[in-house]
């Protein structure tokens, strides 16, 4: 991965700030990449010195106006963190106000894949070229794993061979978000699929325990750009999302996992509210609020909710009214 480079008049302060964050145990890599945009802005605007003013922040916000609300908020927040850090040694540094909380209605609506579409994607992945290569098996197993576990794609890329515990049917995520490690239990069918993939994968070097679980055609760890391009090809092949205002993403497999898991609990008659903490832990979330963002209403889910409410009403409310 290419090291980050800062070239504005704030370059040294930004680098010191990032090192301080990393010393506290935070990875801070994604946030560091966001600071690159601010550094580039400072360079293009020919801002000299290390003084950040309200005018500079306002001009920077204007350059973010074309971005989605969530993306704009993320870039703004890291700059605010930088300003707070700089103000410790320079009281004249402007500290921006907190950005207004973004309503869930203003965030990007996610695409929830149907079970038929998942089957279609996996079948198309199995037909990818080159023939007799590991690539189709890699993409098919990766997509199946993302859908059946709701893992973040970065977590899947970071998996090594020794992270798969076949006897206990689970995967170890060592580098989750915010450095939160966890075990991810696998269903019997998912475990068999990973084992089947490993029978082919371990014939290719590197095959040491700490080598990547998923390899590209160069026998290196998978990269986001390559998989995203492949996934777009599969979407076109399966005619998924064509003509829709929302373009399906590979990250939407994580959303689909959460919604389908909720739907299965409703169908089984389980106490969904009691099980939400389980889902949050399984997905690597710190709190349930983060999990709720992934729970999007689909017709099948709405139908199950309505059916459960009607049954509750008939058994409790109407029965009590008749007795009174």
Query: Of 79, 34, 27, nearest to 54 (Cα)?
Result: 79
The per-residue pLDDT for range 110-131, each reduced to its tens digit, is 899 999 999 999 999 999 999 8
Q: Which residue in 249, 254, 255, 261 is the catalytic one? A: 254
- CB-based contact 45:59 (threshold 8 Å): yes
Active-site position among 72, 80, 135, 152? 152
Positive/negative CA dihedral, 96, 101, 103, 109 = positive
182: helix, strand or coil: strand
Predicted confidence at residue 287, as pLDDT, reads 76
Per-residue confidence (pLDDT) for residue 103, from 0 to 100: 47
Q: Is 254 designated active site?
A: yes
Query: What b/e readout covers 76-86, taking b as 16+ CB neighbours within 10 angstroms?
Result: bebbbbbbebb
Q: Is 152 a catalytic residue?
A: yes
Percent of residues in the chain assigned helix, strand, coil, to nearest 5: 55, 5, 40
* Predicted pLDDT of residue 272: 83
User: Is 251 one of the annotated active-site residues of the chain?
Assistant: yes
3-class secondary-structure state, position 250? coil
Over the Cα atoms of the chain, what is R_g? Answer: 24
d(CA 291, CA 122): 26
**Whether residue 224 lies in the annotated active site:** no
| Those residues with Cβ within 8 angstroms of residue 52's Cβ, 6 or more apart along the chain or in another chain | 10, 83, 86, 93, 94
pLDDT at 217: 94
d(CA 150, CA 281): 11
- Choosing from 75, 249, 260, 285, which is the catalytic residue? 285
Residue ranges in the chain modelled with pLDDT below 70 = 1-2, 100-108, 178-179, 309-324
pLDDT for the residue numbered 309: 64
Query: Domain map of the chain by residue range?
Result: 11-106, 115-238, 252-323
Phi, psi of 275 (to 5 degrees): -95, -10
pLDDT score of 40: 93
Angle between the 299-312 and 252-268 helix axes, to the nearest 10 degrees? 30
- CATH number, domain 11-106, options 3.30.1240, 3.30.450, 1.10.150, 1.10.575: 1.10.150
pLDDT in the model for residue 304 = 72
Q: Is 223 a catalytic residue?
A: no
Tens-place pLDDT, residues 46-78: 888 778 999 999 999 999 988 888 888 889 999
pLDDT digits (tens, 9 = 90+) for 2-25: 678 899 999 999 999 999 988 877
pLDDT for residue 143: 98
Protein fold of 115-238: hpI Integrase; Chain A (1.10.443)
Q: Measured on CA atoms in the order 139, 141, 145, 148, is the torsion positive or negative?
A: positive
Q: Which of 80, 108, 177, 182 is catalytic?
A: 177
Q: What is the pTM of this model?
A: 0.69
Is 267 labeled as catalytic in the residue annotation?
no
Instruction: State residue 320's pLDDT score.
Output: 55
Which of 217, 221, 293, 209 is closest to 259 using CA atoms?
Answer: 293
């Amino acid at each position: 991965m290419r090291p980050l480079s800062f070239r504005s008049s704030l370059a040294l302060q930004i680098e010191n700030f990032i090192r301080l964050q990393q010393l506290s145990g935070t990875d801070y890599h994604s946030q560091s990449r966001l600071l690159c945009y601010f550094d580039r802005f400072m360079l293009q605007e020919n801002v000299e010195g290390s003084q950040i003013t309200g005018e500079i922040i306002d001009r920077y916000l204007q350059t973010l106006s074309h971005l989605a609300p969530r993306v704009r908020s993320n870039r703004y927040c890291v700059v605010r963190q930088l300003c707070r850090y700089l103000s410790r040694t320079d009281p004249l540094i402007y500290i921006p106000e907190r950005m207004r909380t973004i309503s869930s209605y203003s965030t990007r609506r996610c695409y929830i894949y149907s079970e038929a579409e998942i089957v279609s994607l996996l079948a198309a992945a199995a037909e990818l070229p080159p023939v007799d290569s590991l690539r189709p098996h890699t993409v098919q197993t990766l997509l199946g794993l993302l859908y059946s576990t709701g893992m973040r794609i970065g977590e899947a890329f970071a998996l090594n061979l020794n992270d798969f515990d076949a006897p206990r049917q689970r995967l170890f995520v060592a580098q989750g978000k915010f450095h939160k490690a966890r075990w991810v239990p696998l269903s019997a069918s998912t475990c068999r699929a990973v084992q089947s993939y490993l029978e082919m994968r371990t014939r290719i070097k590197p095959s040491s325990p700490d080598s990547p679980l998923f390899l590209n055609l160069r026998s290196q760890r998978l990269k986001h750009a390559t998989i995203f391009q492949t996934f777009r090809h599969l979407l076109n092949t399966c005619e998924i999302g064509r003509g829709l205002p929302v373009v399906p993403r590979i990250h939407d497999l994580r959303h689909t996992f959460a919604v389908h898991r909720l739907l299965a609990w409703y169908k089984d008659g389980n106490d969904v509210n009691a099980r939400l903490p389980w889902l949050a832990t399984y997905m690597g979330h710190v709190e349930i609020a983060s999990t709720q963002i992934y729970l999007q209403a689909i017709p099948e889910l709405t139908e199950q909710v309505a059916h459960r409410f009607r049954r509750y009403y008939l058994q409790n409310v109407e029965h009590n009214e008749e007795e009174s």
